[in-house]
């Protein structure tokens, strides 16, 4: 989803990529979840007009994990904007 982050940068929109992959453990050969990271957090945080917008980046046909669905419900409960974005066109349709 490099195109999405490039678009945000070109449009001079304030955004942060959120990395929740954890720490790579060479002995185990996989990522270990960080105990300091909330699971399911969206990939990108956009600040627009002083309000947060969480963006979950998904490939065409990609689906949310159970943790991502729970995070979206948390956002909804607190009136925080949350969107699943599959392309730059999705951002344009959202007015971002």
Indicate whether 94 pLDDT > 90.
yes
The rounded distance, in Å, linking the Cα atoms of 94 and 30 is 36
pLDDT of residue 41: 94
Q: How far apart are CA 70 and CA 92, in angstroms?
A: 26
- The model's pTM is 0.87
Give the pLDDT score at 56: 97
Q: What are phi and psi of 20, to 5 degrees?
A: -120, 20
Query: Do residues 40 and 69 lie in contact, with contact meaning Cβ atoms separated by under 8 Å?
Result: yes
Count of CB atoms within 10 A of residue 91's CB?
A: 21
The residue ranking higher by pLDDT, 12 or 19, is 12
- CATH topology for 2-94 is Trna Endonuclease; Chain: A, domain 1 (3.40.1350)
pLDDT, tens only, 16-68:
999 777 788 889 888 887 777 888 999 999 999 999 999 999 999 999 999 99
What are 62's two structure tokens? Answer: 């990609």
């Amino acid at each position: 989803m490099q195109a999405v982050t490039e678009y945000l940068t070109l449009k001079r929109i304030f955004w942060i990529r959120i990395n929740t992959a954890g720490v790579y453990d060479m002995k185990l050969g996989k990522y270990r979840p960080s105990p300091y990271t909330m699971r399911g957090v969206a990939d990108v945080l956009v600040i627009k007009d002083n309000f947060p917008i969480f963006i979950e980046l998904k490939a065409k046909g990609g689906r949310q994990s159970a943790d991502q669905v729970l995070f979206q419900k948390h956002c909804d409960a607190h009136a925080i904007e949350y969107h699943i974005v599959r392309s730059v066109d999705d951002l344009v349709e959202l007015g971002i």
